[in-house]
Amino acid sequence: MFLVPLTLSLSLLPLGLAANFDWENIRLTSTETSSYPAIRFASQPPPPPISACRTIPGDSSWPSEAEWAKFNDTLGGVLLKPRPLAVVCYTGDQYDSKRCEELKQAWGNTVLHSNDPTSIMSQWASGNTCVPTAFPNSTCTQGGYPVYVVKATTVRHVQLAVNFARNMNIRLVVKTSGHDFNGKSIGGHALSIWTHDLKSLTYHPNYTSPSATYTGRAVALGAGIRAADGYTAMSQYNMTMIVAGGSTVGLTGGYMQGGGHSSYTSFYGLVVDNVFSIQAVLASGEFVTLSKDENSDLFWAFRGGGGSTFGVVTSMVVKVFPVTPLVSSSITFSTLPARGSNSTGLSVETFWKGVQEYLAYCVAICDAGGLGYNFIRHATSGNTTGLTFTTSISLPNKTRTDYQSFIRPLLLNLSALGIPVVLPPVKRFSNHVAQDELYSRSLFMPNSNAPLDAHDTLRPRALGDTVSQTLIASRFFLRSNHASPAALSTMNAAIRALVEDGGYTFHGINHNPNLNVSGHPDNAVNPAWRQAILHAQGYEGGLHWDGKDPVGGRKEWGERWERLQSYMQKWRDVTPNSGSYINEGDAQDPSWKSAFFGRNYGRLLAIKHARDPWGVFWAMGAVAHDEWVIRSTSDEEQGSLVMQDGRLCRVKV
């Protein structure tokens, strides 16, 4: 529901602090806060904690309805109190059977959840306390979704939310699109900042960086800009920019703050390697500029140190490039016969020899500036089950002839193993946007486990293409894992165990954002990523929930998580000096500090303590997340997989 707005009071200030967009000049002033303690800026050093836990509804310290109304008045009427999307499926004043059925049909669509103030891609993190159901008399509760949401359209809105949450001891979360595998953009009993409407983009054909070391193309992106907006901008301004593959990914949020990969990672580096400046609201409520010359500690930390940690990004300026065409085609082989074929499929041993041959070729793909995008899936044909390997290989700034010459050695090597591969026509695209046509004909194909034939395009790229109830974990396999036949065999065996014995789906992305490609940037990106040839993910296949099957209790979820971790340990064992991509890994990775941050963790922790001593920003897997814990507020114990529907409490007071 919307709270009723009372009065609107804006401060459009001609401040000296740089702003990329007009709405960044609408800011909170100390004069406004002097008569309203709940929205005052922070003092340094912070006072002692007033409670071991964040306040929640029902506590005497939780703001009254009158206090929330006053806060909404100060915001200008943009405070929301939304119920979960699926509330329409439950008996009550919002019950709507027709809308519930429509919701079930559309539940897997990420756009539906991206455009909602609270809903997210990885539904399990909410505690599954309000999912679409055929049993309207069951119970729907708020669970892990925030209680109130500030629908931000100015910097002032963001500042007010940060200050109110900090001063009132309320948990704070931030959502742009909810495209996240671990539920970092939700929180039980929380106040949320929704940056969805900060959708501004400005193209600068002759931009000069703050340090004056670069003059050329750049774009300024508001916090609400998603990858789909980036696709449009590339076509409109005839340029190439680094964007995510999933259309609903917010470009300035966790994507950028965790590193941000794309089709051009081996050619132009990660998105954080190309950021010139950042505008952000800090835990103190201050609005600041971050660059090499201003707040350089935070500029380093924001670029790779993880989202939901140091502040709320409102905009950034990032380098873009001349149109960089891609040529691409795909390879498929299977233990099942191709559709319509009388031939038999590959033996299991030959199949895995083929996978290892591909893994051996990945170094060449990365060194050519290219991208490999692959899956090993369990497939069915009639009553027969088997395995299918599919990869798309893309190269930038090459001709079709160049591509065919490049791929020929791999095809010959596969043929020598008894794996005949018919290469589909090589396609040439002007940029990353069109390349997505190779990856997916539809997000909702009726038989997603069917074997592919040699001319099939790839199905939905990965978990990020649809809303699910699926757990995921990941690991970087380094150049050293590809350095010898013995190392390749060991890596292949670890992947095989996860797929064959574990029954999981394997998703691999071959790229290498090494320092030479990236321009030797000084940022907080996981150092292991610079040596990676394969960003590998393991996840539960076939769990794109249809709104009918039960979602399981916490004990079952914990057992599923522990089982996945047992197979991921095999990956960790063969990559002892590596890590994991924080945005596409398991936030509860047992070795999360080294896995996500490597040697950067100590420096990041010191910046976190210096810049957010109140612990305003918190998320699972983020820097300093072990200083807080989520405690259950229900009769059901949290279990080994932590969900977001409990109370956030300090470990030590």
Residue 162 lies in a domain: yes
For residue 384, the one-letter residue type is T
Residue 504 lies in a domain: no
| pLDDT band for position 456 (cuts 50, 70, 90) | very low
Q: Is the pLDDT of residue 522 over 80?
A: yes
Positive or negative: CA dihedral 538, 540, 542, 546: negative
Q: For 129-178, what is each residue's pLDDT tens digit?
A: 999 988 898 899 999 999 999 999 999 999 999 999 999 999 999 999 99
pLDDT of residue 2: 37
pLDDT of residue 635: 67
Residue 78 lies in a domain: yes
| pLDDT band for position 49 (cuts 50, 70, 90) | confident
Contact 160, 150 (CB under 8 A): yes
Average pLDDT (420-433) is 84
Residue 79 lies in a domain: yes
More confident residue, 420 or 466: 420
Contact 150, 193 (CB under 8 A): yes
Domain hosting residue 154, numbered range: 22-40+59-194
Q: Is the pLDDT of residue 382 over 80?
A: no
Contact 530, 579 (CB under 8 A): no
Residue 528 lies in a domain: no
Q: For 580-600, what is each residue's pLDDT tens digit?
A: 999 999 999 999 999 999 999
pLDDT of residue 329: 96
Distances (CA, A) of 114 to 145, 176, 236: 14, 8, 24
Residue 171 lies in a domain: yes
Q: Is the pLDDT of residue 448 over 50?
A: no
More confident residue, 383 or 207: 207
Contacts of the segment 288-294: beta carbons below 8 A, 24+ positions apart: 288/17, 289/17, 289/18, 291/210, 291/211, 292/210, 292/211, 293/210, 293/211, 294/210
- Beta strand residue intervals within 238-366, DSSP E: 239-240, 275-282, 287-290, 311-319, 321-322, 326-334
| pLDDT band for position 441 (cuts 50, 70, 90) | very low
Q: Which two tokens stand for residue 126?
A: 């909410």
pTM over 0.85: yes
pLDDT of residue 464: 61
Q: How far apart are CA 34 and CA 531, in angstroms?
A: 52
Q: How far apart are CA 280 and CA 283, in angstroms?
A: 10
Residue 111 lies in a domain: yes
Q: For 548-576, what is each residue's pLDDT tens digit?
A: 556 678 899 999 999 999 999 999 999 99
Distances (CA, A) of 147 to 52, 73, 117, 373, 498: 20, 18, 11, 39, 39
Query: How many domains, the chain?
Result: 1
Q: For 229-265, what is each residue's pLDDT tens digit?
A: 999 999 999 999 999 999 999 999 999 999 999 999 9
Q: Which two tokens stand for residue 181?
A: 């595998």
Q: Is the pLDDT of residue 625 over 90?
A: yes
Residue 530 lies in a domain: no
More confident residue, 511 or 434: 511
Average pLDDT (70-90) is 98
For residue 310, the one-letter residue type is F
Q: For 105-114, what is each residue's pLDDT tens digit?
A: 888 888 999 9
| pLDDT band for position 338 (cuts 50, 70, 90) | confident
